[in-house]
């Protein structure tokens, strides 16, 4: 593929793409928990996920307007969908997923290791989440966000879901930058994997309220394993997937605790059934451990990144996490 790939656009010809599109399968219509249990608590009105979707679509339109394919000579051929005029797409040979050029994405805030570390543009660790490489890429990520995010937001509210979504992509950006230096990265798949990780830790920390515990856990682990397995294909940035997933997993222990049944129903239960603590002891322990790991992980990773440390120098086999070469394809950079 020339110049551009989903999630990680090649510079100039190679790249990576996040495979979290299949993560939408995590939004199983049947709940993991027993909704008849009053300890589940209130249901929130979902709106921040819709805001995220609208913002991503609007930003993509702005990017395409700035890209202005018809206004530039292109050796790869003519623009696609010329009737769209200024927001028409780059030639399919350059960007087969119907989007802008990699140079436009880089100019507008895509994640680029050299610019983050050597030119002190750390803001790119955040701005890259709002950029998408093409219509297909945008559609896949937004559908996944709707299916996964709305369900979580209804259960836990917009504040906690927003924190998980944004910090997970930030964590994915850091890990990706530590291991991949010669490509640019855009997209929200790291954040989507963070939501998957949060679902898993929420299941673990609120284990007692769930029905069909084993089936729920195995189903979720299978979904996560399939999505991570996609990451060994070329043009898939599994480092961003894993960084987002681990961040979301730890954040779930901190932000997605549910109170004990005896606490929720303390006004309706007899005195002998009351509990003194809102949460169980193991929930507090997991929360503290996860918080310490998050703080130390972000601190160490950011220090390593801005000191120019190459993660591959400390882990010779880690490049196989993001791409496994076969007779059918090579991984390149």
Say whether 327 is catalytic: no
- Closest to 196 (Cα-Cα) out of 175, 234, 222, 230: 222
Tokens of 96: 């087969």
Cis-peptide into 12, omega within 30 deg: yes
Residues 269 and 256 sit within 8 Å (Cβ to Cβ): no
Q: DSSP letter at 128?
A: G
In contact, 117 and 301? CB cutoff 8 Å: no
Instruction: Compute the distance between CA of residue 67 and CA of residue 107 in angstroms, rounded to an integer.
Output: 10
330 is an active site residue: no
Catalogue the long-range contacts made by 26-33 (C-beta closer than 8 Å, 24 or more residues apart): 26/147, 26/148, 26/195, 26/196, 26/199, 26/220, 26/223, 26/224, 27/147, 27/148, 27/151, 28/219, 32/199, 32/203, 32/210, 32/212, 32/216, 32/220, 33/206, 33/209, 33/210, 33/211
Closest listed residue to residue 47, CA positions, set 189, 143, 157: 157
Residue where the block lists tokens 């963070």: 194
Q: Which of 88, 189, 216, 322 is catalytic?
A: 189
Report H helices in 68-212: 102-107, 113-117, 124-127, 135-156, 158-179, 189-205
Catalytic residue among 132, 176, 241, 322, which? 241
Q: What residues act catalytically? A: 189, 241
């Amino acid at each position: 593929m020339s110049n551009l790939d989903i999630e990680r656009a090649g510079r100039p010809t190679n790249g990576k793409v996040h495979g979290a599109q299949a993560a939408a399968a995590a939004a199983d219509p049947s709940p993991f928990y027993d909704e008849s249990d009053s300890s589940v608590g209130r249901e929130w009105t979902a709106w921040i996920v819709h805001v995220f979707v609208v913002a991503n679509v609007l930003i993509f339109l702005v990017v395409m307007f700035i890209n202005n394919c018809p206004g530039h000579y292109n050796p790869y051929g003519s623009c696609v969908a010329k009737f769209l005029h200024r927001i028409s797409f780059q030639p399919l040979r350059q960007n087969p997923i119907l989007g802008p050029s990699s140079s436009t994405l880089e100019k507008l805030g895509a994640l680029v290791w050299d610019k983050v570390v050597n030119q002190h543009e750390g803001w790119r660790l955040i701005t890259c989440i709002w950029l998408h490489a093409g219509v297909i890429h945008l559609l896949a990520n937004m559908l996944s966000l709707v299916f996964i995010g709305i369900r979580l937001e209804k259960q836990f509210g917009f504040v906690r879901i927003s924190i998980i979504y944004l910090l997970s992509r930030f964590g994915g950006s850091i890990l990706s930058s530590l291991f991949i230096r010669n490509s640019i990265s855009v997209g929200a798949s790291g954040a989507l994997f963070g939501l998957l990780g949060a679902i898993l830790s929420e299941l673990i920390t609120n284990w007692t309220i769930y029905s069909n515990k084993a089936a729920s856990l195995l189903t979720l682990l299978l979904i996560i394993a399939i999505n991570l397995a996609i990451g060994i294909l070329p043009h898939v940035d599994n480092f961003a997937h894993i960084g987002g997933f681990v961040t979301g997993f730890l954040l779930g222990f901190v932000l997605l605790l549910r109170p004990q049944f005896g606490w929720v129903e303390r006004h309706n239960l007899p005195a002998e059934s009351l509990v003194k603590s809102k949460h169980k002891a193991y929930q507090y322990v997991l929360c503290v451990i996860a918080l310490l790991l998050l703080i130390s992980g972000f601190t160490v990773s950011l220090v390593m990144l801005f000191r120019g440390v190459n993660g591959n120098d400390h882990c010779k086999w880690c490049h196989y996490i993001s791409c496994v070469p076969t007779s059918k394809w090579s991984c390149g950079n």
